[in-house]
């Protein structure tokens, strides 16, 4: 039985020698003050999986096309977060948005934000008694502004205004 469970495992050993960039990266992941060496090894595997997992799952053939596509979507989100982190940290233009230090908003997220905004506007219109059939105010109405009777400001005598002597 131990043989069966052992055969279900994949052993991955990699030796890298300085000054190769792979050695620099692996050394950082294993020996740093931010996370443990075990966490570093996991981050390395997560980074590899973020790119190659959909391809591996497709090749393996045990997932449907829709499942592989869903896995690929999650992986793309992980990769985009990594891109955002690097762009923010090193002030690089984001290849997705073209702006430095800005995170991309997915199409679904943007659609949700816009839908929420439009719903808020529609609710405000409904609450104001206006309808979409109501005529818009004419430009001359807008130019005249709001009629004020002075009570909006309170009594000017209620305020003390200190003006320095050297200003006058």
Q: Domain residues of the chain, as ranges? A: 9-157
Cβ contact 28:44 at 8 Å? no
pLDDT band per the 50, 70, 90 thresholds, residue 139: very low
d(CA 90, CA 84): 10
pLDDT band per the 50, 70, 90 thresholds, residue 157: very low
pTM above 0.95, yes or no: no
**H or E element at residue 52:** helix 37-60
C-alpha distances out from residue 13 to 16, 41, 44, 49, 126, Å: 10, 11, 13, 16, 65
43-100 pLDDT, tens digit per residue, is: 999 999 999 999 999 999 999 999 999 999 999 999 999 999 999 999 999 998 776 6
111-129 pLDDT, tens digit per residue, is: 665 666 556 665 556 565 5
């Amino acid at each position: 039985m131990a043989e069966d469970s052992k055969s279900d495992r994949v052993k991955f050993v990699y030796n890298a020698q300085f000054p190769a960039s792979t050695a620099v990266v692996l050394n950082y992941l294993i020996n740093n003050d931010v996370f443990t060496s075990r966490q570093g090894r996991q981050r390395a595997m997560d980074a590899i999986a973020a790119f190659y997992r959909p391809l591996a799952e497709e090749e393996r053939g045990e997932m449907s096309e829709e499942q592989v596509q869903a896995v690929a979507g999650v992986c793309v989100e992980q990769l985009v977060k990594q891109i955002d982190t690097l762009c923010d940290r090193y002030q690089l233009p984001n290849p997705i948005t073209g702006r430095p230090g800005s995170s991309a908003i997915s199409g679904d997220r943007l659609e949700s934000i816009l839908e929420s905004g439009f719903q808020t506007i529609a609710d405000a219109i409904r609450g104001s008694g206006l309808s979409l059939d109501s005529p818009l105010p004419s430009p001359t109405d807008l130019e005249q502004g709001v009629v004020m009777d002075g009570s909006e400001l309170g009594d000017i005598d209620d305020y003390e205004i200190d003006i320095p002597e050297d200003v006058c």
